[in-house]
Amino acid sequence: MPPISSDNSHDWSSDVYRTLKSRDVKIVCTVPDAGLTEILNQCRADGDMTVVTLTSEEEGVGIITGAWLGGVRSVLLMQSSGAGNCVNALSLPQNCATPCPMLITMRGEWGEFNPWQVPMGRAVEPVFTQMGVQCFTALDQKEVGGLFAGALDLAYHSTMATAVLVGQKVVGAKDFAK
């Protein structure tokens, strides 16, 4: 069976990078994922940004909080399968009234081949919402940049946690059969 891909006519990764740059984000925390590769490559190539590779996603919440308290803007980029690792840590930005902007590439949705990805894919938005995270869902490549810019602005101006959930149809379904 051929891999399932989305319409790749729009470069949403560059939109996200330009948004990070325009909002003076200096630290990008991540557990790398194939869906984030292009963004991370652009950030690594930028001499004004530092990409911090995490061993687990919740570390990023602590780094983002500490960076904000030190006057530096940062973000957390991850896949939905790692979002559950952040649940306890999300009390930190809520109780400290610090921003925690996140971009999450989704799994367990459209075209998913791995049933183990489905439960967390379903749980991200309701669990994050219950933890006080304002979630926005991007289902089209052209809307990712605008939603991410708005989520960053809301996080930084309102000192709250926000997450843009980039739908699997935008990222493309993975196919490990080859």
Domain that includes residue 26, residue range: 12-171
Q: For the chain, what is the domain count?
A: 1
Burial state string for 89-101 with b = 16 or more CB within 10 A and e = fewer than 16:
bbebbeeeebbbb
Spatial separation of the C-alpha atoms in residues 58 and 85, rounded to whole Å: 6
49-80 pLDDT per residue, tens: 999 999 999 999 999 999 999 999 999 999 99
Task: Residue 74: name the closest of 46, 49, 104 by CA.
Answer: 49
Looking at this protein, which amino acid is placed at residue 2?
A: P
The predicted pLDDT at position 2 comes to: 38
Spatial separation of the C-alpha atoms in residues 92 and 135, rounded to whole Å: 17
CB 144, CB 15: distance < 8 Å: yes
Residue where the block lists tokens 């470069």: 11
In-domain check, residue 70: yes
105-122 pLDDT per residue, tens: 998 888 888 889 888 999
Spatial separation of the C-alpha atoms in residues 133 and 162, rounded to whole Å: 5
CATH of the domain at 68: 3.40.50.970
Q: From first to last of the 178 residues of the chain, give the pLDDT tens digit.
A: 334 455 556 799 999 999 999 999 999 999 988 889 999 999 999 999 999 999 999 999 999 999 999 999 999 999 999 999 999 999 999 999 999 999 999 988 888 888 898 889 999 999 999 999 999 999 999 999 999 999 999 999 999 999 999 998 888 776 666 5
The predicted pLDDT at position 173 comes to: 74
In-domain check, residue 80: yes
Concatenated DSSP letters for 41-96?
HHHHH-TT-EEEE-SSTHHHHHHHHHHHHTT-EEEEEEEHHHHGGGTGGGHHHHHH
In-domain check, residue 142: yes
The predicted pLDDT at position 177 comes to: 60
- Chain-wide mean pLDDT for the chain? 91
Extract the tokens encoding 101.
């902007």
In-domain check, residue 91: yes
